[in-house]
Structure formats: structure tokens, C-alpha cells
Chains A and B, each alone.
Chain A
Amino acid sequence: MAGDRAASRAEIIWNLLASRVASRGAPASVADVCAVCVETLGMSGAAVTASGKSGPGHVMCVTDEVSEQIEELQLTFGEGPRVDASADGGPVLVPDLGAGDVAARWPAFGPAARLAGAAAVFALPLQIGAISVGVLGLYRRQPGPLSADQLGDALVFADTATVLMLDREDQAARDRGGGTGPGGGTGPGGQPWQLALRRAEIDQATGMLTEQLGVGIEEAFVRLRAYAYAQDRRLADVARDVVARTLRMEPDPNPRRDGVA
């Protein structure tokens, strides 16, 4: 069953992350996502970069030296899978850096990345619709594609990293939520990380909150999640109330970074 398979795959990943986080006793971070992702998908390394709208990717974490080099090369040359994933809003999957079309696509990055030790690179944007916070970059020393299951897992890792990046960016909203955020593992309603299933209502409610709160789309999503945590309700249920207009949110009396859009 597709739905069951999806739920269990995501749950397995969340459980792996939760146990790693619990053993260390610190809140979950994108570094945890990278480490578990490398292990689960048999990658050689991973990196998360933040995408500032005004500037190139700021490296948040890398698992190894080659990953760091791959990110640096892209900063230097202004080309590569992370750059394309960021610009196109979709994953960039390159199973063989030695393939002929790579040289045409990235004449500088392609050979340099191979020299650094990468044979396959995969870049997954950290995004939820118009929300875009960075890119998860993976590489392998051996060429070869991601299987369908591996791609599914990689997307779940990217979703998780997206939420962690948003939480990190908005510690204040997390505090307003009154909880520890997704770092605590399983959220209210048995929905780990509050991202169990994609629902159109969640996206619609996020859009509505940009107007109600006078904030950007990232902040609106963080506020929606924070409210769900504070009320100990499922994100999808809160979103449904917002769309049905039985729940309205008031602007923050002390607006922080986004201000009024």
C-alpha cells in the first residue's frame, strides 16, 4: 500500500533521527539529518547549505572534507547541482559526473568535483512550495543512480531538514509555541515532526496566515506549526480550521525580522 509504505518509510527515518538525537541529548539539527542520511542511503557525504535570497549558499554543515570541497567549488564557480536545484526549485540528480552531458552543463564544477573524489552528486532543495531555505547536497564516490526508494528517503530527509532550518531561523516562534519544537521527536497527535502527510489545507492555511499576520511565507508556516504545538493539536487539523475561517491568528505585537510584508 503506497500510503502505508510512505508512512513507515518516513517513520523509520524519524525514529533513526530521534534515537540519534536522544543519545546525544541535544536538540535535533541539520547535522543529524546529514549524518543519518549518509548512513541510510549509503552516501559518502552530505552537506546542507542555507539559501539567502540576496547571496550564495551559506554552508550550515558538512559530514566530511569532500562535501565541504563540493560546496566550496560551487561557490567559486557559481555552477553545480546546488546552484541549479536552488534556481530551478527541483532536485538535481547526477548519477555519473563523468557522463558527457555533465561537462557541457558544468564545465568548471564537473571535472573539479571528480578530482575532489565525487562520482555521483544529488542536490535536493529544502522547500515547501514558495518556502525555500536551502539545499541538501549528497555525493557518492561510486557512480550510480538513486533507486526509487532511495529518492523517496532522500526527499523525506530534505523535508525534515527544511523544518529544522525553519525552526532554527525562528527560535522565537518556537518559544511562543511553548514546546521544544520537532527536536523532541514525536509531536502531538502521534505525528512525528508534524510533517507526516502533505495536505493542501496546510499550504492554503500558510498562505492565509501571511495576510492575517502580515508576515512572509516562511514565518507564516512557522507560526502555524508553533500554534499546533502550543495547542497540542495536529497541524492538519489546525490548518483546516484556518481554511474554514473558524480560527484566525493575530499579528505579533512585537514583530521581529520579517515585519509587515
Chain B
Amino acid sequence: MDIDLLPETFVELADTLVAGFDIIEFLHVLTDRSVELLGASAAGLLLADPRGEMRVVAASSEQARLVELFQVQNDEGPCLDCFRSGLPVTSADLSAASGRWPHFAAAAGRAGFAAVQALPMRLRDETIGALNLFRDVPGPFDRADIRIGQALADVATIGLLNERSLRRSETLNEQLQSALNSRVIIEQAKGKLAERLGLDVDDAFNVLRGCARSRNRGLSELARAFIDGSEELPDLKPGKTPPAPQRGRPPGPPR
């Protein structure tokens, strides 16, 4: 683990809470940092929609997103078990997990994942989602890494509740729905941008994310403004796209 990155990550996540906070960007930063910090190859994050379905709201890579989506669509996998039990779920060797999750184990294997760790996102007695860590080699996750991973999942849960009281379950449900709708706004903006620039939708997401960062704007806010035409993205011409910010830091005052 990169020990210097850990305090930086918590500062970064705390920063996000203050200026231009965007829950979807925040959860993406969280999955990205989970990968860098915890010896994982990929990470994905699912939230529970009160309508009854889990939704993939962030993933560090397209493969992780697809494997998470696979769990939801097949109603099987460690993230769902973790969500339902409210407890961490782990498999150090997915090639031996076909009895437990026949469909998921196969899909994860096809995506190149060999081990998985799912951590619950909990607020007291309520579980609202789960953070999934994937590794491309078999073997148990380090216990210290798991504890840090759980701390990151807890930070994510609190992030969902930012700016408002933690006391009322109404607030949690209100914020959760806003977050899920923000995810939909971003998907719509990805589509519009992909069509305009002739990109695939995943590249469009990176461009959108880079734009939000370079303009110091909330990702969902910029996505909405782009969709309703109140804000154009004039620096976005084909062949002149800003670099994808995969590992970048959000702009902010120097520390």
C-alpha cells in the first residue's frame, strides 16, 4: 500500500465534501482510490434503490462496472450477499466459488478477476449499499487493507448524507434518491457527448469528468447544464478533447 496516499485520500474526500460537492464524482474517486490503496485491481460500488433493485453508481473500470451489473441482473454475487447480510463477504479464490455463486464466479473469471472482497455501506442498522474490491490474482485480502476499505466505505456512506442531518432516515432516503437520479443524469450526458464527439460512452464519461474538474464544477450539475443546453462545452471539439483525469486530483488550493 502507498502509505502517503492514505492521508491524502481522506483529505481529498473531505475536500470533496466542502467545495463543489458531487456525490457521483465522490463515489468514483472512492473506487479509484480503493484500487490504489488496497492492492485491488478494480472496485465497484452498488447502492440500494428503494424500488427494490441495486444500482451500480460507480466503478473504477468498465470491467468492474460490467461485473457489478452482472450481479444485479443475475441477482447473485458477493456484493448482494454483503448488502443483504450487512456483513463483509470475501472469496480469496473465485475459481473455487462456483458452488456459491455459479453465474457470478464464471463472469468474474471471464473479466479476469480471481478474488473478491465486498464491504457493507452501513448507517447504524441500515445497509444502503456495498463496496466491491476485485483482484486479478487469487489470495486473501490483507486485513489492514480490509479495515481501511471499510473506513472508505463508511466515509462514502457519510458522503451520501452530506450537508444534512444524519438523524432522520427520511434524509437518507431523500439523498439516496438524489444520488441515483444524478447517476441517470450523467448517463444521459454521456450519451449526448458520445454522439456529439463520436466517442464511445465510457470515453465520453472521462471527457465529462475532466471538464467538470477543469472548470471546478460538480459533475452532475455540469451534466444537467450540458443536457438542457444552458451550458455548452465549447472546448470539446473532436480531436481536441481534454485528457482523461483518471488519476488526477480535483483542482483546489495547494496544500
- Which positions in A face B, CB cutoff 8 Å? 1-7, 9-10, 88-95, 125, 127-131, 145, 148, 151-152, 155-156, 159, 197-198, 200, 203-212, 216-217, 243, 261
Contacts and interface: CB of A to CB of B under 8 A. Distances in A.
B219 interface: no
B52 A204 contact: no
Interface string B208-243: 000000000000000110011100000000000000
B170 A211 contact: no
A210 B196 CA distance: 10
B50 A207 contact: no
Contacts of A145: 169-170
Closest 6 CB pairs of A and B: A207-B191, A6-B52, A129-B184, A90-B178, A203-B187, A204-B191
A52 B122 CA distance: 38
B51 interface: yes
B112 to A, nearest CB: 22
A2 B85 CA distance: 13
A204 B188 contact: yes
A130 B223 contact: yes
A206 B188 contact: yes
Given A9-B52, A212-B195, A216-B228, A151 B188 contact: no
B175 interface: yes
7 contacts: A93-B173, A128-B184, A129-B181, A152-B51, A207-B191, A210-B191, A211-B196
Contacts of A125: 181
B103 interface: no
A206 B191 contact: yes
B72 to A, nearest CB: 7
Given A3-B53, A10-B51, A155 B177 contact: yes
Nearest to B228: A130
Interface in B170-210: 170, 173-175, 177-178, 181-182, 184-196, 201
A103 B194 CA distance: 46
